[in-house]
A and B are shown apart, each in its own frame.
Chain A
C-alpha cells in the first residue's frame, strides 16, 4: 500500500480518492497507513462524491505588484473529511456554509483539488 502515491495518481486521473476504514467506516483524509479514529489498518479506497460545504475560509491579501488577493478555504466533504482547497471565483463571494463541488483542477501546472460554488 502506497497511500500518498495512490492519492496523487488519482488526481492525475481526475479522481479525488479517499480512504475508508473497514473497521469503523470512517473516511480518512489525508491518506495514511492506518485509521486515525480506530487505528485499524484495513483501509480501502472510494472516490469522493465531490459534494461539500465551506467550513471556514480566508482571503490572502497581496500587495498589488505581487498579484491578486486569493481564497483559501477549508471544505468538509459529504464523506466527513475536511481539506484545504480554493474556491473558484471572487474571494469576496465565499461564505461559511456555502455548498460547493470539489473537482480536480490545476495549480501551477499540477493537479489539485479545487471547488466551485454549486447552484442552489
Chain B
C-alpha cells in the first residue's frame, strides 16, 4: 500500500543566487534573490507564498527574519534547524502542510555570504561544554575521527577518500555554476595541506557564498505552473546525536534508517535510482552514505568509489553538480542536493544532464553526522 503522502507534493520552481562570491551582499540578500529566482521559475510571485521554510546561520529566529525581509506574512512556517539537512527535512514538513491545507504555496529558501564576509565556515553552533576544552576544529575534526575509525575498522585508505574528491571535481569541470572547475588528481588531494588527520584540504567542502530556493505546491495543481513538476515520493529523517562523542558507532550513520524509510515511502529500492545527490561536506560522507543507503556493504565504500565508479561515465551517478566539495558550500549545502536532483529529473541541470532520469535521491546531513534526511524525487512517470 502506498504511503499517504507519496507523490502528494511537487517542486514547481528552482532557483539559486550569488554562488561563488557575492561581495557586498548580506546572507539575507542572497536568500531573497534565490527566492525570487525560484518563484519566477514557477511563474509565481512572493505575494503567492503562504508557507515559509527557512534556516539561516545569522539569527536565532531565521524564518521570522526571512518573512520580514521578504515582506510576506506566511500562515505556516517551519524553521527547524538540524544543520545542513534542514532543507531536505522541509520536504517532509512542507508536503504534510500542503496536504493538510495548512498552506498552498511553500517556499524553501537559504542564503549565505560566508566566503566574502569571513572566508571561513560560519556556524551558529557553539561547541558543547564537555568537548570545547579540547578544541576540536568544528566541524572537520568530528568527521576526521569518523574517517579514522572507518580506516581502522575496514582498511579504507586516504587514496579512496581522495577518489571521492576527484570524482566530484570531474563533475564540476562540466558545470559552469561550480566554484572549482580545474581537474584534480588523487595525488593533488594527498599532497594538499593536512587539516585534521586524516582529512586534508581537498577532503573538505568549499567555503562559498550562495543561496538556493524551491517552491512546492500540492501535486494536483503542480501542472498549472511553468515547469515540469518534480514529485516528492519519499522523505524521512533520523538523528542519533548532537555531540560527536555521543555518536553510537562512528562508522554507521542514521542514513541507514532515514534511507530505509524514504525508500519504503517511495516504494522503490536503491537500484531503481538514476542519480544520487549526497551531502559531501567531507570525502568520508560520500563513502558512509553509499554504504548506509544500501549501495554497498558496510566497510566496502572505499573500494566502491575507486576506479571512477561515481565519476562522469561511471556506473553510478553521484553528486552530478560537483557537490559541496567542488560546486558550492555556503555553510549549509542541503538545499543544493534537492535542487540538483530536481534539475536532473527536469533535464535542466546546469552541468552534465543525464538522460532519462525518473528517480533521484537527495540526502542531507546535519551537525557532525548527527541528522540524516533522505528524499526520493520522481518524474510524473513514477507516480
Contacts and interface: CB of A to CB of B under 8 A. Distances in A.
Contacts of A58: 136, 141, 144-145, 148, 196-198
B101 interface: no
B141 A60 contact: yes
Interface in B172-191: none
A27 interface: no
Contacts, number: 70
Interface string B84-96: 0000000000000
Interface string A75-88: 00000001111100
B134 A61 contact: no
A74 interface: yes
A112 B149 contact: no
A55 interface: yes
Interface in A63-120: 70, 72, 74, 82-86, 96-97, 107-108, 110, 112
A58 to B, nearest CB: 4
Given A55-B149, A58-B144, A74-B145, A110 B133 contact: yes
A81 to B, nearest CB: 9
A45 interface: no
Given A58-B196, A61-B194, A84 B136 contact: yes
Contacts of B250: 55-56, 74
| Interface bracket on B | 20 to 34
Nearest to A61: B194
B137 interface: yes
A108 B246 contact: no
Contacts of B137: 60
Interface of B: 129-131, 133-137, 141, 144-146, 148-149, 152, 193-198, 243-246, 250
Interface of A: 4, 29-30, 55-61, 70, 72, 74, 82-86, 96-97, 107-108, 110, 112
